[in-house]
Structure 1
Amino acid sequence: MVNQQITDRQQRLESFLESVKAAQQLQDDIMKYGLDAAYLYCDDVEGDWLDTWGDDNDEPTYIEKMTTFLESDDAIAVKVREKLQNKSVSEIIEGLEYCLSQLTENKRIFAAKDLFVGGVAFAGSDRSSTNDMIDETELLDLAEDLLEKLTEILG
């Protein structure tokens, strides 16, 4: 587990360093070639791409897809709205984005469950209580169903 974390950190660091190197190369090319550096990085510099920008965006955005789902009559969306009735759709989406950003499936599920309980564990509750166990199981089931649905919707 610790070794995997180190590997993930190393990969992220390597990715970051590659991005910095590419940015430095772009900056060097701009300094060397001026505006003509655009020809090095763009295939169709003189085309009509600027005039047609956004014309092919018929596909709904990530936020639009999540909003449409959360406002729908889907059984999972209804349950989510019931559990998070004191939060706006944008707040729910923000919380779900955090959940989806987690690296492992288990972390995503538990992050979604925490979202349903307001980010606070059952403080002071008797964990052996049957009702608490049922509630927690229901929340985990809802979190798992929600993440499966979002994966299906968002692709």
Structure 2
Amino acid sequence: MVKERPINGQEQFTQFMQHLEEGRQLQQDWINHGLDSVDLYFENIDGDWLETWGDDEEEPSHRELLTTFLESDDVVAVKVREKLQNKSVSEIIEGLEYCLSQLTENERIFAAKNLLVGGVAVAGSNRSSRNEGIDEIELLDLAEDLVEKLTEILGN
């Protein structure tokens, strides 16, 4: 079924006159400026927009960014993988997402430390099993570096 719209003659005439005036302005700009008139209507005409066409496609998700980071040769990523070698990448990402959900930077760092110790750092629980021989300062430094890297990568 076709939806009928009442035609307002005055509105149609006003719109026609507006389009006509815009066409006249375009023609006058062409006469006055020649090919340079294109610059009046398009931004960055001389830029690299043609070469970068399509580059603004969907940005990767947080999970994809975290996965890429964890699989990289970044020093922090390598140390995290060493500390959490008994966990899968998805488990590590889940723990990292929990760490990043904390409100303050100190809470994030301590949540990351608990994750690195091998504790459970999801669903509001921070139980950590104390492993002998783990240097607390070294763990805190790694946790701090990890939170800094993640903040940099995710832009948080």
Same fold (TM over 0.5): yes
1:58 Cα shift?
2.9
Q: Give the letter aligned to residue 144 of structure 1.
A: E
Structure showing greater Rg: 2
Q: Give the letter aligned to residue 58 of structure 1.
A: E
1:67 Cα shift?
0.3
Matches within 5 A, 1:4-153: 57-119=57-119, 120-122=128-130, 135-153=135-153
- d(CA) in 1 for partners of 2:154 and 2:65? 7
**Higher share in helix:** 1
TM-score under structure 2 length normalisation: 0.55
1:150 Cα shift?
0.5
- d(CA) in 1 for partners of 2:118 and 2:73? 23
Report how many residues are paired. Answer: 93
- d(CA) in 1 for partners of 2:103 and 2:59? 26
Residue in 2 that maps onto 1:7: none
Alignment partner of 1:93: what SS?
A: helix
- d(CA) in 1 for partners of 2:107 and 2:58? 33
- d(CA) in 2 for partners of 1:154 and 1:98? 14
Kindly provide the CA deviation profile for residues 119-145 of structure 1, in whole angstroms up to 9, marking residues without a partner as x: 21528x7xxxxx65xx11000000000
1:57 Cα shift?
4.2
> Gapped runs of 5+ residues in structure 2?
1-55, 120-127
Q: Give the letter aligned to residue 64 of structure 2.
A: E
- Report runs of 4+ in structure 1 exceeding 2 Å deviation: none
Q: Give the letter aligned to residue 146 of structure 2.
A: L
1:149 Cα shift?
0.4
Alignment partner of 1:98: what SS?
A: helix
- RMSD of aligned alpha carbons: 2.0
- d(CA) in 1 for partners of 2:115 and 2:70? 15
